[in-house]
Amino acid sequence: MSIKNDLARLTIKAGLRLSFKLPSLLPLPVAVLRSGMEQSAQLFKVREDVQVESVTIGGIRAERLSPQQKTDKVILHLHGGAFFTGSAKTHRALGAEFAARAQAVVYMLEYRLAPEYPYPAALDDGLAAYRALLALGYDPHNIVLGGDSAGCAHILSLSVLLRDQGLALPAGLFMISPYVDMTLSAASITTLKTRDPMLTAYALRRGSLGYHRSIKTHDPRVSPLFADLRGLPSLLIQVGSEEILLDDALRLTELARAAGVDVDCQIFDGMWHNFQMFNAFFPVADQATNQIALFVKQHTGG
């Protein structure tokens, strides 16, 4: 990595500590945190070769991000935000990158957020959207589920639900910095808490509490790390080496492989939570985003 990239990385990490990590340690109102995340999203430019439309899919609001070339490939993405923040807007730029690079239509779902809507609201919304894609004629072999942070818990739970209900499974799942264990018991939660420039256990716990409520944190319904993972589609996991959720990714990889799932876990040295959003700033983030696009193409026959 060049000196220029090193300086840019240090500058952005310092900015994240000030604008993201510090506020997340404070008991600020949910509305304030959501607004702050929406404002921060303006840092990321949406590429011009992708069409952005507000749509409804299965009765759930979403943004449809379409590449210029017509395609029968689709990504259903459930955004992150610790279960209580985030939106299609905050993830619009990243979704546009997926659309253009993977040559797939991306549905960025506006699923219902906690604490107003606890479990299973987000799961129900994901299921409704997936069923709607099938009803629209999309071949499940051409559908990939995407998620980042808490969105990874939602798509993993959705895949388990689809399997248990005997519904057609998607072609694959990709996960960015998965938050799939609400117990927050992994070692990296503690060992990397000072190195992580973004996340705090306090913020993760606050968000997850609004979702699981009276359900125990180790219950696989809300912590799909502990679910039966047998028979699930191929899985791509990307995680930064400096985020407190590192062990969530490593443990999920281990458990999924033990269950017979094909897993590719990619660890990016010196990177942080959802660093792929910074694909316009760092070659490594650009390369990671390309790896996601490659995964989509390979598993949908593109």
pLDDT of residue 140: 97
> Whole-angstrom Cα distance, residue 4 to residue 300?
37
267's torsion region: left (phi>0), alpha (psi -120 to 50) or beta?
Answer: beta
At residue 18, does pLDDT exceed 90? Answer: no
The CATH code that applies to domain 3-300 is 3.40.50.1820
User: Where residue 232 falls among pLDDT bands split at 50, 70, 90?
Assistant: very high
The amino acid at residue 232 is: L
Beta carbons of 239 and 267 less than 8 angstroms apart:
yes
Active site members: 149, 243
How is 214-248 classified by DSSP, letter by letter?
A: TS-TT-TTT-GGGS--TTPPEEEEEEETTSTTHHH
pLDDT digits (tens, 9 = 90+) for 283-296: 999 999 999 999 99
**What are the boundaries of each domain within the chain?**
3-300
Cβ neighbours of residue 167 closer than 8 Å, sequence gap 6 or more: 131, 134
Distance CA 163, CA 254 (A): 20
Q: How confident is the model at residue 153 (pLDDT cuts 50, 70, 90)?
A: very high
pTM here is 0.96
Q: Give the per-residue pLDDT at 1.
A: 53
